Amino acid sequence: MNSTARSGLFGDLDVDVELDAPIGAHTWFGIGGRADALIRPHNEAALVTLIERCNATQTPVRILGKGANLLVADDGVDGVVIRLDHEDFTRLRFNTDGEVNRVLAMGGADLFKSVQELQRQGLAGFAQMTGIPGSIGGAVRMNAGGSHGSIGDCIQSVTCLDHTGQRLVYDRHQLEFDYRSSNLPDHLILSAVLELEPEDPVRLRTQVLEIFAAKKASQPMADQSAGCVFRNPRIDDERISAGKLIDEAGCKGERIGGAQVSMSHANFITTAPEATASHVQALMQHVRDRVEQEKGVILEPEVVIWSRTEQGAS
């Protein structure tokens, strides 16, 4: 991206810009390449104009959330990476539409912080997101969740910006959430309205602590990883644990370079300081090949991989 193109896209906008930005360091893996430009809009008006201009110039756009399920290839990505971490995009707004049980959660809001704040406010229905890293937008996009439920369980509506910058609102009756998926178009998720229920904050705190303790006991939460690497496959109309299949295929502890299949949960890949994105990709392929060979099951990645030929959101 030359200086003229940069100036035309965002030179006059209310944004923070980092050129040749090391976005791999912003992911939970902590590895990977750089972006031509990392842009942090200060408000929705600047965001909309930026998206409009990128669309008009056919400039690739990617949305970087908290990087929790993202691997950036070693050669990085082209175009523009947008991060919604300004205050306007990270808030929780209570009493939405005059309803005490409705909360407007902006797409850049942190899941960890949201769980804690909703617990303090005495609003139940979001504790299932305890211990799950990421942003509201990324979680809604993939219907993130676990054994206690998914974020789709409490979504009342979702507001998006399409590739032209047009604002679109999808109400609950238009939305379909399934295992790690939704029917939302491939748009930027600006916000979501959560439908929750009043509850005793003390009781909620106990619930959150119990869920967190269970996750801490079974997952490598202290290690550098991006959460579950593969989706749990459906076999004979039943979801089967990908971690169990990987373990039974003998992959626990296996390593390529600085990437290793976690000893505490086989569906996690952890990274050491010397790891590269290529190490993780090679280990993912090795695990897929081994599980297919030993168990006859083809695992589908849950981690999104960005490269100069592929796009995604996290």
Comparing CA positions, the residue from 15, 162, 1, 161 lying closest to residue 80 is 1
Known catalytic residue at 238: no
Domain locations in the chain as residue ranges = 3-87, 91-203, 220-306
Q: Give dist(CA 236, CA 260) in Å, integer.
A: 30
Known catalytic residue at 228: yes
Residue in 54, 154, 160, 228 annotated catalytic: 228
Full pLDDT tens readout for the chain, 314 residues? 656 566 689 989 999 999 999 999 999 999 999 999 999 999 999 999 999 999 999 999 999 999 999 999 999 999 999 999 999 999 999 988 778 899 999 999 999 999 999 999 999 999 999 999 899 999 999 999 988 999 999 999 999 999 999 999 999 999 999 999 999 999 999 999 999 999 999 999 999 999 999 888 878 766 788 889 999 999 988 999 999 999 999 999 999 999 999 999 999 999 999 999 999 999 999 999 999 999 999 999 999 999 987 654 44
Structurally, at CATH architecture level, domain 220-306 sits in: Alpha-Beta Complex (3.90)
CATH number for the 3-87 domain, one of 3.20.20.70, 3.30.70.120, 3.40.50.970, 3.30.43.10?
3.30.43.10
Topology agreement, domain 3-87 and domain 220-306: no
Q: Give dist(CA 28, CA 73) in Å, integer.
A: 14
Known catalytic residue at 302: yes
Q: In this structure, are residues 305 and 281 in contact, taking their beta carbons and an 8 Å threshold?
A: yes
Residue in 180, 205, 255, 308 annotated catalytic: 180
CATH number for the 91-203 domain, one of 2.120.10.60, 3.40.47.40, 3.40.1390.10, 3.30.465.10?
3.30.465.10
Comparing CA positions, the residue from 82, 129, 97 lying closest to residue 110 is 129
